[in-house]
Structure 1
Amino acid sequence: MAGVKDVARLAGVSVATVSRVLNDSAAVTGETRARVLEAVAELGYRPNAVARSLRTDTTRTIGLVIGDILNPFFTELARAVEDEARRSGYSVVIGNADERPERQDHYVRTLLEQRVDGLLLCPTAEITPLVRDVVRDGAPLVFLDRTLPGLDVPTVRADGAEAIGALVAHLRGLGRRRVAFISGPALLSTGRERTEAFRAAMRANGLEVPEEYLVAGDFRAGSGRETAARLLDLPRPPEVIFAGDNLMALGALDEIRARGLRIPADVGLASYDDVPWFAHLEPPVTAIEQPVQELGRRAVRALLDRVERRPVEPAVLAARLVVRRSCGEAPENRGDGEGSGRA
């Protein structure tokens, strides 16, 4: 049976170059890659990943456990992680926690048993004994998007406080003063952070937040529709509903349309997390955009730094406001078409 040295000899390259080609690294030129692949085909070489991992004590794989695969944010984030890992010669094994701690732990345990070289985790709300043990044992671990207070783990996440401030200032400039917020679960760091940022932004703009205008969802469409219904049934309903993620915004949109209400004439709508189809709705939806591609890239680099035992710096990236027409238009923009912009 042909081995990697045979492939390297036939292709006229080093064993390391053969390894980079087989791991789909972008560091190898097209001509060299072609020679290696021709040699692999001619010799019928089949790399044995298990044997290779036993020899090198590495599998060239990383694990990624995300909150909810149905959430477009996590889907795009997984793609970004996979793209960056592949460029670095790694494969990614993905687990969907479905926002449940027991499923999260199942995938963490399974991935570690499969001897992944490191683990990216979008943690659920609870610090489970398993996650605590992983941290204590020093396994290469990086938190992505979310944090768990009390655990010393490098985290790569986005900070939306400035973008939320820009959104509230935008709404105030449109004359919208009654703004309600559908938050995520308070047990999740993202749910708490967005709620605190919204309260602070409203105060900074001299706007009140009645307690009935703060309602909690679960980052899923059903809760967005249910909480929007409660808000719209209030004796003094809000002028704008701001949803704490894209799925809850979708649920709120469904409820608004089911009632025959007009956006933004009857009620405005804004979302934390932008998705491509927001720009194609009528009217297009104002949203806060997270730097998903950069989050994935930074997370993989941080994890590989941990794998290689290099210093790791936490990364906090800024989200930004994308202004469209779902909350209304400034007087100078009315009648100009879409009237979208960025802040």
Structure 2
Amino acid sequence: MASIKDVAAEAGVSVATVSRVLNDHPSVSSDARTRVLRAVAALGYRPNAVARSLRTDQTRTLGLVISDVLNPYFTELARSVEEEARALGYSVIIGNADERPDLQDHHVRTLLDRRIDGLLVSPTDGGSPLMLDAARAGTPMVFVDRWIPGVEVPVVRADGQSAVRDLVAHLYGLGLRRLAIIAGPAATTTGSERVRAFRTALAEYGLSLPDAYTGQGDFQAESGRRVTEGFLDLPEPPEVVFAADNLMALGALDAIRARGLRVPDDIALAAFDDIPWFVHTDPPITAVAQPTGELGRAAVRALVDRIEGRPPQSVTLPARLVVRRSCGESPTATTPTTTTPTTTTAAATTASTATNRSMP
């Protein structure tokens, strides 16, 4: 295997010049840079990444801790992170928290011990002292999808509020009035935010969200199944179940089918976090889609800016409603039904105003 001395001899330059070229130092002449790169290619030289990290105090490695690798949303997010990082000259080590705060902190601690250059995290909850300590210590870090309030870290996320409002308008236009939600964990920002957005949108149409129509899930399919079974046992079941993530929506679909019921004939179903599978279900599921690939790429760019000394920026991208046929839509429907909100009572107006003020 060729060494850096071999490259220097082949290019007719010093070892220091080869090192500067490999580290993209601007002081090298274009002629010397060309000769070194030709020698590297001819000899098949590969720099020792471990040795380089000891010299430069950089490993060119990023850590990514995602909430659930089995969730197709996070799988796509991880793929886009890896692709963008590779394009920028970084490798990625991925840890799966499995929606467990203890496992999340285990991965964060392990990645920090391995001297990664920066950390991307989708927090499983809002109470990790380790994350707070890492941020205070100046660890280059970016939160993606979820975040921890009060921790001064750039956040790259999608704003689903408008898309949830579009969904409620769409359902209202279809004549549906009894709307229920399977919420994600209240300890996560996405879990609490989606419930607030749903409640706010309902109030704009003079609709309420009874406690019986609010079920607590955990972003896992089994919780979607359990909550939906409870909805179906009510004396007056909801007309629509809105699952606040894709796995809970699949669990809800299982529960509905297990009762011998059909979507949307007997009950409608909608979801947050569109996934490719939803076009293959019968019927295809109406869903709020996040720009997952863009989020992953933007998160990497923000983190690399932080690592390389540029001011990182938080990024918020819009989600959008994708209309299919799980809520009783026409087979040709491709855009939301638009209906102007009507405030039926003063109480509804007050509730809507109060809820809007509480939105982040």
Under a length normalisation based on structure 1, what TM-score does the superposition of the two structures give? 0.88
**Among 332, 335, 339, the residue aligned to 2:332:** 339
Matched residues in 2 for 1:212 and 1:107: separation? 37
Does structure 2 conserve the Cα–Cα contact (< 8 Å) formed by 1:146 and 1:189? yes
SS of the equivalent of 1:328 reads: coil
In structure 1, the residue corresponding to 2:59 is in which secondary structure?
coil
After superposition, give the CA deviation of every residue in 1:253-279 in whole Å (9 maximum; x if it has no partner).
001111111111100000100010101
Distance, in Å, in 1 between the alignment partners of 2:318 and 2:90 is: 27
Whether contact under 8 Å (1:97, 1:107) holds in the other structure is yes
Residue 39, structure 1, aligned to residue 42, structure 2: yes
Q: Which residue of 2 aligns with 1:26?
A: none
> Are positions 1:98 and 2:101 aligned together?
no
Contact 1:274 1:290 in 2 (8 A): yes
Give the C-alpha shift of residue 6 in structure 1: 4.0
Listed one character per residue, the Cα deviations across residues 219-277 of structure 1 (whole Å, up to 9, x for unaligned) are 00000000000001100001110000000000000011111111111000001000101
Residues 126 and 149 in structure 2, CA contact (< 8 A), matched pair in contact too: no
Offset of residue 19 of structure 1: 6.5
Match of 1:257 in 2: 257
Distance (Å, rounded) in 1 between the aligned partners of 2:296 and 2:335: 23
The residue type paired with residue 236 of structure 1 is E
Residues 308-328 of structure 1: CA deviation (Å, up to 9, x unaligned): 121122111110000000001
1:172 partner amino acid: Y
Contact in 2 for aligned 1:7/1:18 (Cα 8 Å) = no
Aligned residue in 2 for 1:301 = 301
**Cα pair distance change 1:37/1:203, threshold 3 Å:** farther
How do 1:1-343 residues align onto structure 2 when only pairs under 5 Å count? Answer: 2-4=2-4, 6-7=6-7, 15=18, 38-41=41-44, 45-329=45-329, 333=330, 338-343=331-336
2:357 alignment counterpart: none
**Percent identity, aligned pairs only?**
61
- 1:319 alignment partner AA: A
The answer to whether the 8 A contact 1:158-1:290 is kept is yes
Once the two structures are overlaid, the 10-residue window that deviates more, 206-215 or 3-12, is 3-12
**Stretches of structure 2 lacking an aligned partner (at least 5 in a row):** 25-34, 337-360
Q: Give the deviation of 1:207 after TM superposition.
A: 1.6
Q: Cα distance, 1:11 vs. partner?
A: 8.1
- Taking only aligned residues, the RMSD between alpha carbons, in angstroms, comes to 2.4
> CA offsets per residue over residues 32-71 of structure 1, 9 Å max, x none?
9x96775244xxx343111010111111100000111111
Task: Measure, in 2, the Cα distance between the counterparts of 1:239 and 1:5.
Answer: 73
Q: Which runs of 5+ in 1 are unaligned?
A: 21-31
Partner of 1:54, secondary structure, is helix
Distance in 2 (CA, whole Å) between partners of 1:342 and 1:85 is: 35
Q: In the aligned structure 1, how far is the partner of 2:74 from the partner of 2:201?
A: 26
Give the letter aligned to residue 121 of structure 2. L
The answer to whether the 8 Å contact 2:126/2:147 transfers is no
Q: How far apart, in 1, do the equivalents of 2:261 and 2:43 lie? A: 63
Q: Which amino acid counterpart does residue 52 of structure 1 have in structure 2?
A: R
Q: Spell out, residue by residue over 1:140-197, the C-alpha distance to the aligned partner (whole angstroms, 9 max, x if none).
A: 0111111111211111111100000000000000001111000001111000000000
Rg bigger for which structure? 2
Q: Which residue pairs with 1:29 in the alignment? A: none
Aligned counterparts of 1:193 and 1:275: Cα–Cα separation in 2? 20
Equivalent residue letter for 2:166 = A
d(CA) in 1 for partners of 2:38 and 2:332?
Answer: 53
Contact 2:180–2:242, Cα closer than 8 Å, also in 1:
yes
Partner-residue secondary structure (3-state), 1:341: coil
**Equivalent residues of 1:164, 1:197 under 8 A apart:** yes
Q: 1:208 deviation in Å?
A: 2.1
Q: What count of residue pairs does the alignment treat as equivalent?
A: 323
Q: How far off is 1:82 after superposition?
A: 0.3
CA distance in 1, matches of 2:12, 2:74: 42
What one-letter code is carried by the residue in structure 2 that aligns with 1:244? A
Shift of 1:120: 0.4
Cα distance change, pair 36–283 in 1 and its aligned pair in 2 (3 A):
farther
- Say whether the 8 Å CA contact 1:221–1:249 is kept in structure 2: yes
SS at 1:231's partner residue?
helix
Change (3 A) 1:286 1:46: same
